[in-house]
Amino acid sequence: MLLEVKNLSTEFKLKRGIVKAVDDISFTIDKGEILAIVGESGSGKSVTSLSIMGLLQKPGRIASGEILYKSQDLNKLSQKEMQKLRGNQISMIFQEPMTSLNPVWRIKDQIMESIMTHMKLSKKEALKRTIEMLDIVGIPSAAQRANDYPHQMSGGMRQRVMTAMALACEPELLIADEPTTALDVTIQAQILELLFRMREKFNMAVLLITHDLGVVSEAADRVIVMYCGKIVEEADVRSLFAHPLHPYTVGLLQSIPQIDDDCDTRLYMIKGMVPNPLNMPPGCSFSDRCDHSMERCTKEMPELQEIDGHKVRCFLYEEAKEGGLDRK
Amino acid sequence: MLKYIIKRILMLIPVLIGVSIIVFLIMRVFSPDPAPIVLGQHATLQAVAAWRQANGLNDPIPLQYVHYLQGALTGNLGMSYYTKTPVVKEIFSRFPATIELACVSIVLASVFGILIGVISAVKKNTIFDNSGMFLALIGVSMPIFWLGILLIILFSGTLHWLPSNGRINPLLEPSHVTGFYLVDSLISGNLDSFVDAVRHLILPSCALAMYSMAIITRMTRSSMLDTLQQDFIRTARAKGVSEGKVIRKHALRNGLIPIITVIGLQLGSLLGGAVLTETVFSWPGIGAYTVTCILNSDFPVVQGVVLLVAAIFVFMNLIVDVIYAFLDPRIKYSKKEV
Amino acid sequence: METKHSSYSDEGLLQAAEYVEKPESQLKLMWETLRQNKAAVVGLIIIGLLVLIALAVWLSELMGKQILPYDPNFSDMSKGFIWPNAEHWFGTDQLGRDVFSRILDGTKISLSVGVAAVAISLSVGVVLGATAGYRGGKTDAAIMRLMDMMLAIPSILLAIAFMAALGKGLDKAIIAIGLVSIPEYARIVRGSILSVKENDYVHAAKIIGNKTSRIIYKHILPNVISVIVVRATLGISSAVLDTAALGFLGLGVQPPFAEWGDMLGRARGFIFSAPYTLIFPGIAITITVLAFNLLGDGLRDALDPKSRIK
């Protein structure tokens, strides 16, 4: 077990109240495993990744819980100690390759900075390694392009550069926060393929954060579904797609248009809206949008139950050992 | 890059011509007839007519302008109505004093402005930040000439630490090489001279620098705060770079670029403010001189000064733009796209 | 163009938190934000006080009554250079006039010149900018070149040059200061129009069939007004400073009117003997300018959508 998140809660202290972005979540990632966290905007998935990295800015803070990386609680480390881990053992790549690179530094300098911060290499050796990394991620004419500035590259290439930068020190865990969202589909496929290669080569674990179920089905080993800061379902990828349990997951899967749908089939949408985080309704947060909600759902919050390795947070499964909802 | 510079220089020319036209229009066309001023109220009509003829004031305006422009390009800006000496001579004899004052002021304003601005941004909402911003606000609201007066009252009047007027004790004036006392005194190895020049410079440069420093502080803080919110700062932190390095190497390098432009603009403000400061401190520069000339309706001088200062300002802004382009690779290498 | 990562958190999260209030209008939200800014409120109060003083003095003059402690223009040489005391709170100046009364009297001039000058800059600037932005092409180029040239000359110098040409006097000072700031407003308005003109939603509106004037009203105007209001407020503060500067140099108001800059200019000779004649007018100027700066800053923050998420 590489990373174990235990009862993590992260909150934001706003003038209007406290927003619990992440509410008591727990999960683990093993070495070499690709875990995907799926959810819509506001579900708390990005905040989770920032919490793990210790990159939360005010007014956000970790309220409670443990983040055990190789049995060490990251939450208890000082900034200096965290800095030793970041970019070194735990790396992160972000959503917007356009703006996530420093516009006035050359690509090579940005990657070399990562290398020289954590590895004891001379400048020459660092440069050599930089060019190697750029090659590995698939940048053509790596040696020349290393001298470029970010604005001289396309979005897909910048994302590769980010990846090269994140992997330069051979981290054990890579957190990828919506790495393909800002890119078009063909590039998306290339970046995912790149991640696979990296995982093969370095036996690296990946925490993949996304809202795109297509990406999940292609890339992930296991999936966690988050809604309003809580985990509502967790399973291996096959099981999730074959037998989704939580009504929210079912809704999400139904929303994906099928290639064999009729032309005039209406796109399915989960009814209702995400509740206001400052004013969460009592009981299950999904209850007002759920087709199967019972009276109990509006009063109590269901616990996370495990059924044959498949976890779900829903009263529908309180007594049941098996079963799910049929996909229409 | 070179193309950019050349393009900008070429764009300068019409602006300069335009400026000269504006100045000319203001001073020749909209101004009252200079003849009675120069010749006195009781001058005879004949004398007036003769004087106007001799000075080309009967020519059609466009022609007058052309003559003026020709003169300006060859270094002849006309004659002072009062001292009957060439305007150019009057201006350039007083120029070094103003330049020296302006240079010291801009350096003070920039160095302290940027320093305080950066620290305020990094330590946002702490006592340092709040008091810094408060002082900056006061600095922007205070009239320069009043600040000068207050400084004199305090440091010259009450404490007797610093002199209140002039550039230097006449006995200590260094031998003339550049006209800049700080430079000349060092060249001739005259330390007493240097110290005295510095003592005379302190109060006026502080007064002059205050307004610009306040503006630079505010803009720096604002730019740094903006920069620190950028995605690439988050990336740098994610790489495990120490916070100090993040600020120094990533944030500053980006956040200070727009400040260059601000400093350039402040030069204009300084040149204007020099007029007031020189008046308060009896500093023998062109600022104070211009005021005297205005009060005496000595138009050729005023015209010459405004034209010259505008030209300098335009030129300095060109330099600022070039530096900006140099520092920001997005402009420097904008032609080389994927 | 850089995107900002709002506080490094789930953007959706904070956006959702914003659901709580749906204000009636943009103005109301603006006012709310402004009210919370204590500094801006202080500025507003000070301005209110100044306006009250100016109006009171002006009205009482009109009616022939004297509400000031002493006649600001009445000179009694026997009472020259009295240091501040119970009778003359700010002392008397070189001509035996009560400084306190003169300062209160000067409020009228400073405020009216400030507002008048900005009014001139605004009206001319907006018209020029709107014409340039809307017509585009050669008109645009010509107007903007002219604006660039005006901006090439440092503003105080330009004002001084105007004054040299126009002569001394309050009305000339207003025109000079007003003329100098025209390019700023022209640029703002033109910029706003240009940026909106090319926006997709304007194109969409046109396609749907909205008339040009309606487009301007609904889309361009709200944007422009807020920026202009901020600029104008800050413009008043710099106009007050410029007026004082011209007055100090002897180019502005002519005697016997009380104007703060002029008071400072004439008292220069007494800097060591009677410093109070110089201190109080300066404080008056600073407070006035400060008030408008506080208000202007507050307005700017209130109009900035980012700072509303608290």
Q: pLDDT for A101-153, tens place per residue?
A: 999 999 999 999 999 999 888 989 999 999 988 988 888 888 898 999 998 98
Alpha-carbon span B190 to B193, nearest angstrom: 5
Helical (H) or strand (E) element with B10: helix B2-24
Of residues B238, B330, B338, nearest to A154 (C-beta): B338
Interface test with B, best of C3, C248, C273, C292 (most B CBs within 10 A): C248
Domains of chain B: 94-331 (1.10.3720.10)
Cβ distance A102 to B235 less than 8 Å, yes or no, reads yes
Write the pLDDT tens digit of every residue in C283-302.
999 999 999 999 998 888 87
Q: Which residues of A touch B338 (CB under 8 A)?
A: 152-154, 157
Mutation site for A-interface testing, chosen from B122, B239, B257, B260 by largest number of A Cβ within 10 Å: B239
Counting residues of chain C whose pLDDT is more than 90, the rounded percentage is: 12
**Architecture of the domain defined by C33-59+92-307:** Orthogonal Bundle (1.10)
Give the per-residue pLDDT at C309: 39
Query: How high does pLDDT run on average in chain C?
Result: 78
Of A14, A42, A96, Cβ closest to residue C3: A96
Judge whether residue A274 has pLDDT over 70.
Answer: yes
CB proximity list for B63: less than 8 A, separation 6 or greater: none
Contact B239 A79 (CB under 8 A): no
Instruction: Determine whether the interchain pair A92/B337 forms a contact, defined as Cβ–Cβ distance below 8 Å.
Output: no
Of A99, A103, A165, the CB nearest to B239: A165
Percentage of chain B beyond pLDDT 70 is 93
Q: Indicate the residue of B232, B237, B336 with minimum beta-carbon distance to A101.
A: B232
The DSSP secondary-structure symbol of C6 reads G
Average pLDDT rounded to a whole number, residues A45-64: 89
Of C5, C7, C17, the CB nearest to A16: C17
Does residue A328 have a pLDDT over 70? no
B234 to A100: CB separation less than 8 angstroms, yes or no = yes
- CB atoms under 10 Å from CB of C152, counted, come to 21
Q: Which residues of B touch A165 (CB under 8 A)?
A: 235, 239
> Smallest Cα–Cα separation from A20: which of A50, A55, A64?
A64
Query: Is B329–A151 a contact, with Cβ atoms under 8 angstroms apart?
Result: yes
The verdict on a CB contact (< 8 Å) between A102 and B333 is no
pLDDT of residue B109: 95
Amino acid in the structure at residue A207 = L
Which residues in chain B have Cβ-Cβ distances shorter than 8 Å to A56? none
Query: What per-residue confidence (pLDDT) applies to C217?
Result: 61
pLDDT at A325: 47
Q: How many helices (H) and strands (E) does chain B have?
A: 16, 0
DSSP calls for B211-265: HHHHHHHHHHHHHHHHHHTBHHHHHHHHTT--HHHIIIIIIHHHHTHHHHHHHHH
Alpha-carbon separation of residue B135 from A291, B153, C43, C270 (angstroms): 61, 20, 16, 28
Nearest-neighbour CA in chain B from C157: distance (Å): 6
Confidence of residue C26 (pLDDT cuts 50, 70, 90): low
- Helix residue ranges, H only, chain A: 45-53, 79-85, 107-118, 123-136, 142-145, 155-167, 185-202, 213-219, 237-242, 247-255
**Sheet containing strand A310-312, strands side by side:** A90-93, A173-177, A205-210, A34-38, A222-227, A230-236, A310-312, A305-307
3-state secondary structure of A22: strand
Q: Cβ contacts (< 8 Å) between A47 and chain B: which residues?
A: none
| Facing residue for C310 by CB, picked from A14, A47, A58 | A14
Interface probe, candidates B124, B231, B235, B333, chain A, greatest A C-beta count within 10 A: B235
Q: Is the pLDDT of residue C139 over 90?
A: no
Tell whether the model's pLDDT for residue B158 goes beyond 90. Answer: no
Band of the pLDDT at A321, cuts 50, 70, 90?
very low
Distance, C-alpha A287 to centroid of its chain: 25
Burial class (CB in 10 A: 0-12, 13-18, 19+), C278: buried
User: Mean of the pLDDT values across residues C119-146?
Assistant: 85
3-state secondary structure at position A166:
helix
Interchain proximity A117–B250, CB inside 8 Å: no
Whole-angstrom CA distances from B166 to A264, B97, B162, B278, B283 are 88, 10, 11, 9, 5
Query: Chain A, 130-149: which have a CB under 8 Å from a chain B CB?
Result: 149
Suggest the residue from B141, B237, B318 to mutate for an interface test with chain C (most C CBs closer than 10 A): B141
* C28-76: pLDDT as tens digits: 667 777 777 888 888 889 999 999 888 888 888 888 777 777 777 777 7
Measured between CA atoms, the residue of chain C closest to residue A20 is C13
Query: pLDDT at position B234, please?
Result: 92
Task: Note the pLDDT of residue B119.
Answer: 93
Q: What is the pLDDT of residues B106-134, one digit of tens each?
A: 999 999 999 999 999 999 888 999 999 99
Q: What is the mean pLDDT of residues C130-136?
A: 79
Between A195 and A320, residue with greater pLDDT? A195
Query: Do residue C10 and residue A42 have CB atoms under 8 angstroms apart?
Result: yes
Taking an 8 Å cut-off on Cβ atoms, the answer to whether A42 and C16 are in contact is yes
Is the alpha carbon torsion for C302, C305, C309, C310 positive or negative?
negative
- Closest listed residue to residue A25, CA positions, set A3, A12, A8: A8
Residue A39 pLDDT > 60: yes
H-type alpha helices, B74-180:
87-122, 127-141, 144-151
Cα–Cα distance list, B273 to B279, B287, C90, C242 (Å): 10, 9, 28, 10
- When pLDDT is averaged across residues A224-237 and rounded to a whole number, the result is 90
Distance CA C263, CA C280 (A): 10
Determine the Cα–Cα distance for residues A310 and A324; give it in Å rounded to an integer.
11
Q: Listing from the earlier edge strand, what are the strands of the sheet with A17-29?
A: A17-29, A3-14, A60-69, A72-73
Interface test with A, best of C9, C14, C20 (most A CBs within 10 A): C9
A218 pairs with which residues across the strands?
none
Q: List the single residue in B239, B329, B336 with the smallest CB-CB distance to A104.
A: B329
How is chain C split into domains, by residue range? 33-59+92-307
Check if C22 contacts A (Cβ < 8 Å).
no
Which residue carries 């990406």 as its tokens? A215
The answer to whether residue A94 neighbours chain B at the CB level (below 8 Å) is yes
State how far the alpha carbon of C304 is from the alpha carbons of C34, C35, C194, in Å. Answer: 11, 15, 20
The span from the CA of B9 to the CA of B5, in Å, is: 6
Using a CB-CB distance cutoff of 8 angstroms, which residues of chain A are in contact with residue C13?
12, 19, 21, 41-42, 44, 47, 277
Average of pLDDT values for C129-154? Answer: 82
Higher per-residue confidence, C13 vs C68: C68
Q: Is A239 on the interface with B (CB under 8 A)?
A: no
B256, pLDDT greater than 70: yes
The one-letter amino acid at C249: L
Residue B320: in which H helix or E strand, if any?
A: helix B299-327
**Region A191-202 average pLDDT:** 84
Does C214 score more than 70 pLDDT? Answer: no
Question: Diameter of chain A by CA atoms?
Answer: 67
Chain C positions touching A14 (Cβ under 8 A) are 14, 17, 310
Phi/psi at A38 (nearest 5 deg)? Answer: -110, 145
pLDDT band at B336 (very low <50, low <70, confident <90, very high): very low
The mean pLDDT value for A206-223 works out to: 89
* Cβ pairs A/B, distance under 8 A: 84
Q: Which element (helix H / strand E) includes B303?
A: helix B299-327
CB A28 within 8 A of CB A12: no
Task: Name chain B contacts of A157, Cβ cutoff 8 Å.
Answer: 338
pLDDT given for residue C135 in this prediction: 76
State whether B327 and A104 contact (CB < 8 Å): yes
What is the structure's pLDDT at A265?
Answer: 75
> In this predicted structure, what is the pLDDT of residue A92?
93
Residues of A in contact with C16 (CB under 8 A): 42, 274, 276-277
Subunit contact A42:C7, Cβ cutoff 8 A: no
Inter-chain CB proximity C241 and B229 less than 8 Å = no
Q: Which of B239, B257, B338 comes nearest A113 by C-beta?
A: B239
Q: Which residues of B touch A84 (CB under 8 A)?
A: 240
Residues of B in contact with C268 (CB under 8 A): 149, 280
Answer with the residue of higher pLDDT: C123 or B329: C123
Q: Using one digit for the tens of pLDDT, what is the confidence trace for C165-182?
A: 777 778 888 888 898 889
Which chain C residues contact residue B16 at CB under 8 A?
152
Does residue C310 belong to the interface with chain A, where contact is any CB pair within 8 Å?
A: yes
Q: Does C272 touch chain A (CB under 8 A)?
A: no
DSSP letter at A9 equals E
Contact C56, C108 (CB under 8 A): no
Chain B residues whose beta carbon lies within 8 Å of the beta carbon of residue A166 = 238
- pLDDT score of A291 more than 60: yes
**pLDDT reported for residue C218:** 64
pLDDT band for B92, please (50, 70, 90 cuts).
Answer: confident
Chain B residues whose CB is inside 8 A of the C279 CB are 150, 153
Residue A135 token pair: 């090659």
**pLDDT reported for residue B215:** 93
Q: State whether C14 and A274 contact (CB < 8 Å).
A: no
Strand partners, A210: A38
Are the beta carbons of A43 and A246 closer than 8 angstroms? no
Q: Are C188 and C124 in contact (CB under 8 A)?
A: no
H-state helical runs in chain C: 11-17, 26-36, 38-62, 99-135, 137-152, 155-166, 170-180, 182-197, 200-208, 212-215, 221-249, 260-266, 276-303
- Evaluate whether A40 touches C12 at the Cβ level (below 8 Å): yes
For chain A, the average pLDDT equals 86
CA distance A59 to chain C (A): 8
- Give residue C287's pLDDT: 94
pLDDT at C6: 38
Nearest residue in chain C measured CA to CA from B11: C145
pLDDT at A324 > cutoff 60: no
Tokens of C58: 């002006």
